[in-house]
Amino acid sequence: MSNSRISRRELRQSKKKLIYSLAGIVFILFLLFKFGIPLLIKFSIFISGTKQDTTQMADQPSFIAPPILNPYVSATNSAQITISGNATSKQTVKLYVNDQGVDIKETNVDGSFSFDNVTLTTGENTIKAKVEKDNKTSDFSNELIISYKNKAPSLDVSAPSDGQSFEKDPSVTVKGKTDPDAKVTVNDFQAIVGDQGDFSYSMQLQNGDNQLKIVAIDSAGNKTEKDLKVTYSQ
């Protein structure tokens, strides 16, 4: 009798534990389906989006190297010149003259490019370029400052005068004035030119007639010439 009561009591306790366990499992499954699975889905979407963004950033670099312009003379007497340089292959290069876009070229396979017949204005011209690719633009290239000069320099010879005669002292000083940036030669020998354009050159005369060729040439290659004849008698 006593053993029978104990068995029934243990059976009831076992049933209660089973019911509580089942209820707990159901409750856990409910929480998992309500909160866990959506959370996992959101996390998966976040990871996938992050990978996609990273891939897109890798495919679309934010930095584009600017082109490099080849050196050019600082002054020219030609109104049209050729500007060349280098960039990356298969890029579009836009050329600017005095901050105005003037031409567009595609780079060659080796990255080189060339702009022909670039028109200059009188005076200083600032030339630079940019690279354009995939709706992005690089910084400006190095600048070239090129002066276009289409007028010959001034040349005034104050001494000696044409046809002048000299005696006793065979030394004569050729002097005068030109533009400050010009060079002066006397019979192909370079004269001294001051900051204001004053020049002088001392030379020895030969007995008889002496031909003097004075040439002023500016940085662009424009030049002015004057021929004089002086006579020296011993």
Residue that is last in its domain, among 125, 148, 171: 148
C-alpha 173: how far from chain center: 48
Q: What is the pLDDT along the chain (234 residues), one digit of tens a residue?
A: 455 555 666 667 777 777 777 776 766 666 566 665 555 555 455 555 544 443 443 344 568 899 999 999 999 999 999 999 999 998 999 999 999 999 999 999 999 999 999 999 999 999 999 999 888 899 999 999 999 999 999 999 999 999 999 998 999 999 999 999 999 999 999 999 999 999 999 999 999 999 999 999 999 999 999 999 999 998
Are residue 167 and residue 227 in the same domain, yes or no?
A: yes
R_g of the chain, CA atoms, integer Å: 45
C-alpha 150: how far from chain center: 27
pTM: 0.66
Are residue 55 and residue 72 in the same domain, yes or no?
A: no
* Three-state secondary structure call for residue 203: strand
Please give the pLDDT value at position 51: 45
Are residue 119 and residue 188 in the same domain, yes or no?
A: no
Give 12's contacts (C-beta < 8 A, 6+ positions apart): none
The CATH number assigned to the domain holding 123 equals 2.60.40.10
Please give the pLDDT value at position 152: 96
Whole-Å CA distances, 59 to 70, 106, 134: 30, 22, 11
Are residue 141 and residue 160 in the same domain, yes or no?
A: no
Please give the pLDDT value at position 54: 38
Domain total in the chain: 3
| Cα atoms found within 13 Å of the Cα of residue 184, Cβ hemisphere only | 28
Are residue 82 and residue 100 in the same domain, yes or no?
A: yes
Expressed as residue numbers, the domain containing 227 is 155-233
- At 196, give phi and psi (nearest 5°): -95, 5
